[in-house]
């Protein structure tokens, strides 16, 4: 019997060609690395569905490479990075810890357990060694170089430890011969492309067809993989619901897209159905979300000094 995967490649896009989010990632049980890009969409963490609680208290070392990112109302200068709790990207963020980003933002983020972080909330100037490693990780993720992205992420972690941003990681045998297993690979090859086509309202049968495995096996694999890597949700239905709402919020940030089109292109039958979905996550109505996303000014944002 194949051993469980110790690494997983994730690749998907939300929204549409002119407005959405692109995600490329390599995740492992003790961390991961992400490359994200916003196309014609803005993000306000306070309007993104909250993450479920996690015992690992994950943190992200985020380095913006294009666009503008603010953390707690402060602009993160080019060449700087910030250390934030993963929940700061969602409505679970405490006051003063919300992350917002403008259209055109690109960033690379290193995911680490909270106990490895020296100072959560820190904004700092990225050292040459850490900056080079993060840039290599981002480039490899965008080009599909999984093993090279793993190596670059490990180099970035070591550099950030040397810089006093992270604590040393305890040795782990899992990183020796990082590998996928067949079911995890099939899941990634099926689940994330399905999320890229929410306008078609994907169903479990679509996932089963894409993966080429039975329905029960697929349901077990979805939950097992999400639990193993501590991903955002547990189960196919919860995953689709979260990313539909996230897609809607992204599209709502673009005032040129009619509200009815936002509902349709995020997989909802009507604007009323979208409103119910937003309420279920404790978020404002579609028109209120749009008003907050499109009227947010930057006059109160000042560059955060990076020592």
The domain spans of the chain are: 7-167, 182-295
Instruction: Look at strands 123-125 and 80-85 and give their pairing.
Output: antiparallel
The 10s digit of each residue's pLDDT in 181-217 is: 555 666 666 677 777 666 666 777 777 776 677 778 7
Question: For residue 2, what pLDDT is reported?
Answer: 47
Question: For residue 39, what pLDDT is reported?
Answer: 93
The 10s digit of each residue's pLDDT in 46-64 is: 999 888 777 788 999 999 9
The fourth-level CATH superfamily of domain 7-167 is: Jelly Rolls (2.60.120.10)
Q: Which residue has the tokens 């994330």?
A: 192
Give the number of C-alpha atoms closer than 13 A to the C-alpha of residue 252, restricted to the C-beta side.
Answer: 28
DSSP string, 82-119: EEEEGGGGSTTPPTT--EEE-TT-EEEEEEE-GGGBSS
Question: For residue 184, what pLDDT is reported?
Answer: 65
Residues of the chain with confidence (pLDDT) below 70: 1-5, 171-190, 196-201, 210-211, 296-307
Q: Which helix (H) or strand (E) holds 27?
A: strand 19-28
Sign for the pseudo-dihedral over CA of 152, 243, 190, 196: negative
The fourth-level CATH superfamily of domain 182-295 is: Homeodomain-like (1.10.10.60)
CA angle in degrees (0–180, nearest 5) for 142-147-151? 95
How far is the C-alpha of 208 from the C-alpha of 187, rounded, in Å? 9
Question: For residue 101, what pLDDT is reported?
Answer: 94
Helices (H), 115-258: 128-143, 146-162, 182-195, 204-211, 215-228, 236-252
Question: For residue 109, what pLDDT is reported?
Answer: 96
Q: Are both 7-167 and 182-295 of the same fold?
A: no
Return the bridge partners of 61, or none: 83, 110
Question: For residue 188, what pLDDT is reported?
Answer: 66
Question: For residue 189, what pLDDT is reported?
Answer: 66
């Amino acid at each position: 019997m194949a051993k469980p995967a110790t690494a997983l490649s994730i690749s998907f896009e939300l929204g549409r060609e002119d407005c959405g989010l692109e995600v490329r990632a390599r995740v492992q049980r003790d961390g991961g690395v992400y490359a994200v890009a916003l196309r014609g969409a803005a993000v306000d963490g306070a309007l993104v569905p909250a993450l479920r609680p996690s015992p690992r208290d994950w943190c992200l070392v985020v380095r913006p490479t294009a666009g503008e990112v603010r953390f707690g109302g402060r602009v993160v200068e080019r060449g700087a990075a910030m250390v934030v709790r993963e929940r700061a990207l969602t409505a679970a963020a405490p006051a003063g810890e919300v992350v917002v980003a403008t259209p055109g933002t690109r960033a690379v983020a290193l995911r680490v357990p909270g106990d490895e972080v020296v100072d959560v909330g820190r904004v700092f100037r990225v050292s040459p060694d850490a900056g080079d490693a993060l840039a290599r990780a981002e480039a490899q993720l965008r080009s599909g170089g999984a093993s090279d992205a793993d190596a670059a992420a490990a180099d970035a972690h070591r550099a950030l430890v040397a810089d006093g941003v992270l604590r040393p990681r305890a040795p782990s045998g899992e990183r020796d011969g990082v590998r996928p297993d067949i079911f995890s690979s099939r899941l990634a090859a099926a689940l994330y492309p399905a999320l890229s086509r929410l306008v078609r309202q994907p169903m479990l049968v679509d996932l089963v067809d894409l993966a080429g495995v039975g329905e029960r096996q697929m349901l077990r694999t979805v939950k097992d993989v999400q639990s193993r890597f501590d991903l955002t949700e547990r189960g196919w239905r919860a995953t689709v619901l979260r990313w539909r709402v996230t897609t809607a919020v992204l599209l709502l940030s673009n005032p040129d897209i009619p509200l009815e089109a936002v509902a349709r292109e995020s997989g909802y039958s009507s604007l009323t159905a979208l409103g119910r979905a937003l309420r279920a996550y404790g978020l404002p109505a579609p028109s209120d979300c749009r008003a907050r996303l499109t009227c947010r000014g930057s006059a109160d944002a000042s560059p955060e000094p990076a020592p």
